[in-house]
Structure 1
């Protein structure tokens, strides 16, 4: 068969079957020479770094705005400087710039925000007047102090030698207001009258030590008849002396769990709260209907309360804080029970539903743009 192949064809067959090693190197050289690979690298690496920078700055703005909002709720004044701490913690190199912290809070600790540019890296326009909110603006800052994110490959492209990098921006908004949901409220409700007496109404004055009667008593006539009976009453217990509250439901009402002697779960809960000094969340009612186990309370908000003591809470031993005495909760014919403490402002754990209406101190915070 070999002899049948014409001699002139054999060299051509050898060329066709020749080794193609080195062809890839030639191809790479051609792509490098024309800038194709550099362009692909710039697109993949440099643009990817910009997206990564944007994600880090956005996370930092989110965390910073939530931190500032929480400081506005918990402290005597907002602490805008908190934003920088959280922005840096969310940067891979530990450094970012917070260019602006602004908004509105009733304590007057935040400066007003400029008008929104409407771009995707800016926060939206200001919310409705009177809304508590904070905007945190972040931007690129390198560990060397530059505001430009330097390129890796883009500068090597033809005509791009002067490119020094880009500044990336982000913005986040957090809002706060009355909490309207809580899965861990104490199974107790306070009357609007008792809350107004203790805080002065709207706007409230928090932190004033007070005594609140469970039952009507001659020394507490101003709130007589508002509860069933007394200035506060016990609610249906879902376990552990807690009640699940959802005020987003129209006309929300809670059932009553009457009785002077409290359950062991509620006794343990009250003892724990007094010892820890942590806020408890108690729903506020404005009207009640019925009596005994048939009573219901119309709930209008959630209050935050620091419990410091109690009296005549059978079977608990009295825990009466200064400056109160045993006489402040008289054990008379009606044998009233009392709680002691003061109203405060506190964040409801996990809740991100911000309501409207009267603010009783229990607060929810959420990201809003």
Structure 2
């Protein structure tokens, strides 16, 4: 028989002594390792490298903020005023936003406008490009920012790493890119109220002046300059006479701007139907594209269905902007009562009133609830022999994540989004 022997239990004092002996040995190893690191400069070199990497990361972050802000600012200026959408004019804007977003107050920028007539992009001085995008169509601006010190150097110098390592490293040029695209939206359906390009040009001063529902408040507070918008005028609201039979028969009519004879530019409004003369849907909407040629009755007010009359009344009550087709040509045969209207684009329009020559076809509404002023003598004369639509064209700029652009001219409806 073997006897079981018992090992004496460790007392608290023995456990404590063993712990002291173990830690003492580890302290010696750590001290030795620290001495090696300090003597070879590895410890300080690693810390210096961390500092310089963080400095490069901060530089890249500030340059990206600059590129994003500059590209958005240039795009919005191009939307507001196409005449100023040139690289010569907007390069200064981009440089201003770039400089203000860099903490040290100095950096370089370069822009390129795509899809803008007359603009040719030069060779990039920075190799940092925007990522590829699947967005097609529209117009876009790309802004590239890069390191530039107040001394003129394009290299961000190291703070510690170059000196401690003993190399000839003198710095790195950091860059970033921002790209924003804008253009007319892709349209599926629009309100079936066609308005002439001539009237759009007359009421918007050829696209330079838009009336808006906040005119009174913003005008009193002086906020239009603050928002970077031109102050719309009440004269932008107007009466639009219905397309008259004389116009579609090729007889002279007053032009949109003067009482002189002008047959080259059709004027007025009409209800539109498809090529088979099918009426609009239950919302008084049609599927149209740029270049389509829907038809319209000469006596369109008489032919308008209940859906269009009800929708028009709703739009008048709510003052809701609605996209309407803009036509630039009327094509017809002699004595045709259903000519075709060529679609040039789509514009946001707000109905503020309507009346009719034929009682009972449309509800007669006095144009008294909006500050548009009274119609001109020419408008009064036309409205006595034809029904009139009262309203104004406005501008809508809608930011979206993945913009989808249509074709044709921009008549005040714009979508805008970042694509890089």
TM-score by length of 2: 0.55
Q: What value does the CA root-mean-square deviation take over the aligned residues?
A: 5.1
Partners of 1:53 and 1:235 lie apart in 2 by 56
Tell me whether 1:303 sits opposite 2:303 in the alignment: no
Structure showing the higher helix proportion among its residues: 2
Equivalent residue for 1:140? Answer: 147
Partners of 1:14 and 1:224 lie apart in 2 by 97
Tell me whether 1:206 sits opposite 2:195 in the alignment: no
Name whichever of 346-355 and 217-226 sits farther off.
217-226
Partners of 1:61 and 1:107 lie apart in 2 by 23
Q: Specify which of 47, 62, 66 is matched with residue 60 of structure 1.
A: 66
Equivalent residue for 1:114? Answer: 122
Q: Give how far 1:100 is off.
A: 1.6
Structure 1 residues 330 and 116: alpha-carbon distance in aligned structure 2, compared to 1, 3 A threshold? same
Q: Specify which of 137, 147, 166 is matched with residue 172 of structure 2.
A: 166
Give CA deviations for 1:127-160 in whole Å, capped at 9, x if unaligned: 9999633221211245787543232331243322
Partners of 1:137 and 1:172 lie apart in 2 by 7
Tell me whether 1:155 sits opposite 2:162 in the alignment: yes
Partners of 1:180 and 1:311 lie apart in 2 by 29
Q: Give how far 1:77 is off.
A: 0.6
Partners of 1:349 and 1:246 lie apart in 2 by 23
Q: Specify which of 53, 57, 68 is matched with residue 51 of structure 1.
A: 57
TM alignment of 1:244-283, pairs within 5 A: 257-259=307-309, 262-263=312-313, 266-269=316-319, 280=321, 282-283=323-324
Equivalent residue for 1:339? Answer: 390
Equivalent residue for 1:321? Answer: 373
Q: Specify which of 73, 77, 88 is matched with residue 84 of structure 2.
A: 77
Structure 1 residues 180 and 27: alpha-carbon distance in aligned structure 2, compared to 1, 3 A threshold? same
Q: Give how far 1:69 is off.
A: 1.6
Q: Give how far 1:71 is off.
A: 0.8
Partners of 2:404 and 2:237 lie apart in 1 by 28
Q: Give how far 1:168 is off.
A: 0.8
Give CA deviations for 1:190-231 in whole Å, capped at 9, x if unaligned: 42x62366449xxx94248685648555576566765269xx
Q: Give how far 1:38 is off.
A: 3.5
Equivalent residue for 1:295? Answer: none
Equivalent residue for 1:251? Answer: none
Q: Give how far 1:87 is off.
A: 2.5
Aligned positions, number: 311
Partners of 1:14 and 1:315 lie apart in 2 by 97
Structure 2 SS opposite 1:259: helix
Q: Are the equivalent residues in 1 in contact too, given 2:193–2:269 (CA < 8 A)? A: no
Point out where structure 1 has 5 or more consecutive residues left out of the alignment: 1-12, 248-254, 271-279, 287-297
Give CA deviations for 1:277-318 in whole Å, capped at 9, x if unaligned: xxx5624277xxxxxxxxxxx99853245x696453755544
Q: Specify which of 388, 400, 403 is matched with residue 353 of structure 1.
A: 403
Q: Give how far 1:44 is off.
A: 2.8
Q: Give how far 1:179 is off.
A: 1.9
Q: Are the equivalent residues in 2 in contact too, given 1:98–1:136 (CA < 8 A)? A: no
Q: Give how far 1:360 is off.
A: 3.3
Partners of 2:60 and 2:382 lie apart in 1 by 60
TM-score by length of 1: 0.62
Structure 1 SS opposite 2:307: coil
Structure 1 residues 340 and 317: alpha-carbon distance in aligned structure 2, compared to 1, 3 A threshold? closer
Partners of 2:410 and 2:192 lie apart in 1 by 13
Equivalent residue for 1:19? Answer: 24
Partners of 1:236 and 1:316 lie apart in 2 by 26
Structure 1 SS opposite 2:173: coil
Structure showing the higher strand proportion among its residues: 1
